[in-house]
Amino acid sequence: MKTTDNTVLITGGATGIGLELAKDFVAKNNTVIICGRRAEKLSEAKKILPQIITYQCNLSELHQRRELVEFCTQNHPSINILVNNAGVQREINFLNGEADYFNGESEIAINLEACIHLTALFVPYFVQRSEAAIINVTSGLGIVPLSITPVYCATKAGLHSFSISLRYQLKHTSVKVFELIPPIVDTELDRGARDRRGQKDKGVKPEIVSKEAFEGLTNDQLEIPVGMVKILKIGSRITPELFLKMINKKVVNPSASDGK
C-alpha cells in the first residue's frame, strides 16, 4: 500500500515499537496521531516529533476507545490507518490462582479487546476511504507461547486469528489488514521482568521492526514476520515441541523455572 500522505493512529505510539513506527510514518509525510496513558511519555514523544498529534487515553476503558475514535474522525477526518500496537505483558503463575491473575492490568482488555473494538469503530469509516489499513501488532509468542506469560501469548494468538477473519471479511473493500509479527524487541514492554529473570537476550532494536514493517507495507505483504519470526513460523509447524522448548529455554532462567 501507499505509505505516504496517510493519516495514521498508532495506539501506544509514545514508546518502543510504536514510537519508531511514528518516526518513520512522519518521515514519509504522513499525519500521525499517537495515544497512551502516560502524559509524560506523550510529551517526550512530542519533543522528538513536534509534528505528531498526541491524545491521552486508557484503552482498557470502553468509553475512552469511543472518545478516541470520535476525536480522530472529527478532527482528522482523513484518517485511514489504524495501528493496533498498544500492549502490556505480565508474568502470571496459575499455581498462585486468582490472586496472581488479577494482580495487574488486563492483557485481554488491552492487547485483544481494545484492538477488536477499535476495529469495529473504524471499519465502517475506513470502507468509505479509497485506501485504508488496519495493522495489528501481534508477536512471535502468538505462534509459540512463552509459558510464564500465558495470557499475553493467548491474546497475541487471538489477535492473529482475528486478523485472518477480518482480512477475509474485508477482502472486497478498500481496507487491507496487515499483521506485524515482531520477535523479542528491546523495549519496556515487560517493565523490567527480563532483567529480573536474568534473560540475556534483550531482542532486536525497535528500529529494525519498523524498517521491516515498512518493507512489508510497501509490498502489500499482509503478514509481516520480523527477524527470527520468519524461522519460527515455519519451524514451529514442522517441529512444534522443539520450538516450544527452545523459546521457553531461551527466555527463562533455567534455575528459576521449569524451562524444559
Strand order in the sheet with 223-225: 53-56, 31-36, 7-11, 81-84, 132-137, 175-181, 223-225
Interface residue with ligand NAP among 188, 195, 215, 220 (CB under 6 A) is 188
Catalytic residue among 55, 101, 125, 152: 152
Q: How far is CA 80 from CA 4, 35, 68, 133, 135, in A?
A: 12, 16, 14, 6, 11
Select the span of 32-40, 120-128, 168-176, 210-218 touching ligand NAP (CB under 6 A): 32-40
Q: Are 253 and 198 in contact (CB under 8 A)?
A: yes
By the rule CB under 6 A, 187 interacts with ligand NAP: yes
Q: Where are the alpha helices (DSSP H) in the chain?
A: 16-27, 39-48, 62-75, 97-101, 107, 114-126, 150-169, 193-196, 206-218, 229-238, 240-251
| Contacts with ligand NAP, 112-151, as mask; x by CB under 6 A | -------------------------x-x------------
- Of residues 6 and 85, the one with the C-beta less far from ligand NAP: 85
Question: Does the annotation mark 125 as catalytic?
Answer: no
The residue from 3, 6, 15, 54 that contacts ligand NAP (CB under 6 A) is 15
**What residue is closest to ligand NAP based on CB?**
16
CB of 17 to ligand NAP, least distance (A): 4
Distance CA 179, CA 235 (A): 19
Catalytic residue IDs: 152
| Interface with ligand NAP (CB under 6 A) | 11-12, 14-18, 35-38, 41, 57-60, 85-88, 110, 137, 139, 182, 184-185, 187-189, 203
